Chain A
Amino acid sequence: MTQNIVEIDNLSFGYKGRLLHKGINMAFPRGKVVAIMGGSGSGKTTLLRLIGGQIKPNKGEVRVDGQVVHQQSREGIYQLRRKMGMLFQHGALFTDLSVFENVAFPMREHTDLPESMIRDLVLMKLHAVGLRGAHKLMPTELSGGMARRVALARAIALDPEIIMYDEPFAGLDPISMGVICDLIRTLNDALGATSIIVSHDVKETFLIADYVYFVADGKVAAEGTPEDLQISSLPFVHQFVHGEKDGPVPFHYSAGDYKQDLLGSQV
Chain B
Amino acid sequence: MSILMKLIRTLQNIGHRFVDRIWRLGAGGRLFWLTLASSGESLKRPWLVIREVYFTGVLSLIIILVSAFFVGMVLGLQGYNTLQRYGSSEAIGVLVALALVRELGPVVTALLFAGRAGTAITAEIGLMKATEQLSAMEMMAVSPVSRVIAPRFWAGVISMPILATLFSMVGILGGYMVAVPLIGVDAGAFWSQMQANVDWRDDIVNGLIKSVVFGVACTIIALFEGYDAPPTAEGVSRATTRTVVTSSLAVLGLDFVLTSFMITV
Identify the A interface with B (CB < 8 A).
52, 54, 77-79, 81-82, 84, 86, 88-90, 92-95, 105-106, 109-110
Contacts and interface: CB of A to CB of B under 8 A. Distances in A.
Contacts of B136: 86, 88, 92, 94
Interface stretch (B78-86, B137-145, B168-176, B240-248): B137-145
Interface of B: 128, 131-133, 135-136, 138-143, 147
A82 B138 CA distance: 10
A54 B140 contact: no
Nearest to A96: B124
A78 B132 contact: no
A76 to B, nearest CB: 11
Contacts of A89: 132
Q: Counting chain A CB atoms within 10 Å of each CB, which of B128, B136, B138, B142 scores highest?
A: B136
Of all A-B residue pairs in the complex, the 5 with the closest CB atoms, nearest first, are A92-B136, A92-B132, A78-B141, A81-B141, A86-B139
B135 A81 contact: no
Contacts of A52: 138-139
Contacts of B147: 109
A78 B132 CA distance: 18
Contact of B140 (A77, A79, A93, A106): A106
A84 B133 contact: no
7 contacts: A54-B139, A88-B135, A89-B132, A94-B136, A95-B131, A105-B140, A109-B147
A105 B141 CA distance: 11
Q: Counting chain B CB atoms within 10 Å of each CB, which of A77, A86, A92, A95 scores highest?
A: A92
Contacts of B140: 81, 105-106, 109-110
B28 to A, nearest CB: 20
B138 A92 contact: no
Contact of B135 (A54, A84, A95, A105): A54
Contact of B133 (A77, A78, A95, A109): A95
Contacts of B141: 77-79, 81-82, 109-110
B23 to A, nearest CB: 15
A90 B131 contact: yes
A95 B148 CA distance: 13
Nearest to A105: B140
A247 B128 CA distance: 39
Contacts of A86: 136, 139
Contacts of B135: 54, 88, 92
A110 B133 CA distance: 18
